[in-house]
Amino acid sequence: MALKIVKIKKDVFYLMNKYAGFVSKVETEMLLEYLFSCAKLDLYIGDFAVNKMIEELYDSLISRRMRGEPVQYITGSAEFMGLDFVVTKDVLIPRPETEILVNETLAFCSARSLPVRILDLCTGSGNIAISLAKLIPQAEIVATDVSDSALRIAEKNLIRHNVSDRIKFCKGNLFNALIFDVSGGKPQDNRCFSASSGVEQECVVKNPKFDIIVCNPPYIKEEEFPFLQKEVREEPEIALNGGKDGLDFYRKIAKGSHRYLKEGGSILIEIGYGQRRGVEDIFSSHNMFEIHKVIKDFTGIERTMWINLL
């Protein structure tokens, strides 16, 4: 008797199960959403035919993921605060725990007279600044970053979310990116990325004072880099390296932030695991700050520090 050959129907569920146990379901869904240019729900209610070319494309995406490339870099996008952001290897991938910074900034602004002025340091993809612009229409936001490449990605996100008139991106190291309109001479290495013109311009800020400074700074210790997950090591070191003890950026912010805060202003800053005491000591040593509260993330790690200027 001849054996009957059963042909397996290859559909989206075939692909979804093909690498089960090797790639998480969440990441599998993200890659399939990218492959079919659809929403997650469509994967389950749609009728997607899978031919040889589609399967080979999917295999290549999975291969990249299994070599350690973050799925967000593969798809070129990451979700943050319910918004979709362009991401490349030039920017840090937005994390869910950083949403705490946005939510606490909303709480700060709800108790203030509007409009409010917000300074976002180390903006990266612009995810914090853009989320705040979408959620607080009355906010005036300036965001800085030292990386040209990161600012170009932030500019793409600015245009994508239609908030070009609400945010000014400035290139420079923390506060050094800001040039105040008080004299005729302005350094040439401080530039503003203009969505309307598509070119870099000198970044001039008329008002030197902000109601709140928000920042997700680099805070990984140099000695920890060899032990980071392979996926994390794919991200730009400039966005991760916080110096020998991971606290370099907190020292710089504590030293300079009082010049840029209005009376009664605040700083909301992300911190790494086990860094609460170190960051508190840095700000307390300047005798002009008060630690208002520390907020834990969804895993119970102390993640965000709210600091008031006395």
Query: Which residues of the chain does CATH 3.40.50.150 include?
Result: 78-309
Closest CA to 117 of 107, 127, 126, 105: 105
In tens, the pLDDT along 43-100 reads 999 888 899 999 999 999 999 999 999 999 999 999 999 999 999 999 999 999 999 9
Q: What pLDDT score was predicted for residue 24?
A: 94
pLDDT tens figures, 114-146 = 889 999 999 999 999 999 999 999 999 999 999
How many C-beta neighbours within 10 Å does residue 134 have?
17
pLDDT in tens, 194-232: 544 444 445 666 667 999 999 999 999 999 989 999 999
Residue 23, phi then psi, degrees to nearest 5: -130, 135
User: To 5 degrees, how large is the angle CA 133–CA 257–CA 253?
Assistant: 95
When pLDDT is averaged across residues 237-263 and rounded to a whole number, the result is 95
Q: In the CATH scheme, what architecture does the domain 78-309 have?
A: 3-Layer(aba) Sandwich (3.40)
pLDDT of 1 above 50: no
* pLDDT single digits (tens) 279-298: 999 999 999 999 999 999 99
Kindly state the tokens that stand for 206. Answer: 């008329």
